Structure 1
Amino acid sequence: MIKKVVPILIRRKAQTLEILAFRHPLAGMQLVKGSIEPNETYENAAIRELFEESGLIARDNPKFIGSLVLKSTQQDWFFYYCEIDQTAPDTWTYFCLDDGGLTFEFFWYSMHEEPSEDWHEIFKEALTFLRTFFDTHKK
């Protein structure tokens, strides 16, 4: 089974919980996620993927919050709650080396907003999982 890490950044804006998301120029709106390298811990993979895709540097020891086997792909996604020392802007672009180099457009997405058709089904599944987690744990 393919395993992926999903580093999660959350912020509270007014009374709304928001999650870091981005628009991929070829594949719509997404959450940061990526592969675990050989001999890499899941925690380090989450920190690395967050930096590679967004430019943000997570603190050491992100907190594992759960895993989800996606219905559509049977991939096993491992979610890690990350914290950063800097304040991330409301929006920004970041050039990522994925697929030969792509510019990702980052933004904060309300956890309780229903995802539009711009979101791929696998990320809609992930958002439902995360919404349930944060509603239960009141982060």
Structure 2
Amino acid sequence: MEERIRKREVKVCPVVLRKSGNNLELLLFEHPLADVQLVKGTLELSDISIESAALRELEEESGLSSVSRTHYLGCWESGFQNHLWHFVLCEIAPKLSNNWSFFTQDDGGHEFNFFWHKIGSKVDFKCHRVFSDGIKQVEIMCI
């Protein structure tokens, strides 16, 4: 019997955090067709590193390009469609708004609505399980 091996798909997830009082908050967005998500995308052949891929994805999906520093946090086997996620902390120099919208060209164009989620608080919004698990993974890596 021939055993089929599925190719692993490598994802990059730029993690943007901010301090709000005593709380640490994680940047998330609401996709108009696919609920709440973390910014993430596929590592492309043209990317020179995991970090450069994270910067590209962050700019493509949020419009944020003023990253002052990156730090590789680690990888995670998502258990979803053989995806391996790489998390990269992206420190943003300017103070970011509490929420904003960005029109992305992904999948023919969508407006993404960004907001902050308090690290350690209950995920009380609708999202695919891979994203709620991804949020938990970020919490483990950042606490």
Tell whether the structures are fold-level matches, with TM greater than 0.5. Answer: yes
Are the equivalent residues in 2 in contact too, given 1:31–1:123 (CA < 8 A)?
yes
Of 101, 123, 135, the match for 2:109: 101
Paired AA for residue 116 in structure 2: W
Write the mapping of 1:73-84 to structure 2, written as runs, cut at 5 A: 73-84=81-92
CA distance in 2, matches of 1:60, 1:13: 19
Structure 2: gaps (5+ residues): 1-7
- Please tell me whether residue 19 in structure 1 is matched to residue 26 in structure 2: yes
Paired AA for residue 39 in structure 1: S
Q: SS state of the match for residue 103, structure 1?
A: strand
Q: SS state of the match for residue 83, structure 1?
A: strand
- Please tell me whether residue 133 in structure 1 is matched to residue 109 in structure 2: no
C-alpha deviations, 1:18-77, integer Å up to 9, x for none? 000000000000000011121311111100100010011143652110110112332000
- Identity value in percent: 35
Structure with greater Cα Rg: 2
Q: Which residue of 2 aligns with 1:7?
A: 14
What's the CA shift for 1:117? 5.1
C-alpha deviations, 1:80-127, integer Å up to 9, x for none? 000122221100000000110000000011111121350210011111
Are the equivalent residues in 1 in contact too, given 2:78–2:84 (CA < 8 A)?
yes
Q: Which residue of 1 aligns with 2:38?
A: 31
TM-score of the superposed pair, with normalisation by structure 1: 0.91
Q: Which residue of 1 aligns with 2:77?
A: 69
CA distance in 2, matches of 1:58, 1:65: 19
Are the equivalent residues in 1 in contact too, given 2:69–2:91 (CA < 8 A)?
no
Alignment size in residue pairs:
135
Q: SS state of the match for residue 25, structure 2?
A: strand
**Alignment root-mean-square deviation, CA:** 1.3
What's the CA shift for 1:14? 1.1
TM-score of the superposed pair, with normalisation by structure 2: 0.89
Q: SS state of the match for residue 28, structure 2?
A: strand
Structure 1: gaps (5+ residues): none
Write the mapping of 1:52-63 to structure 2, written as runs, cut at 5 A: 52-59=60-67, 62-63=70-71
Q: SS state of the match for residue 55, structure 2?
A: helix
- Structure showing the higher strand proportion among its residues: 2
Of 85, 91, 96, the match for 1:88: 96
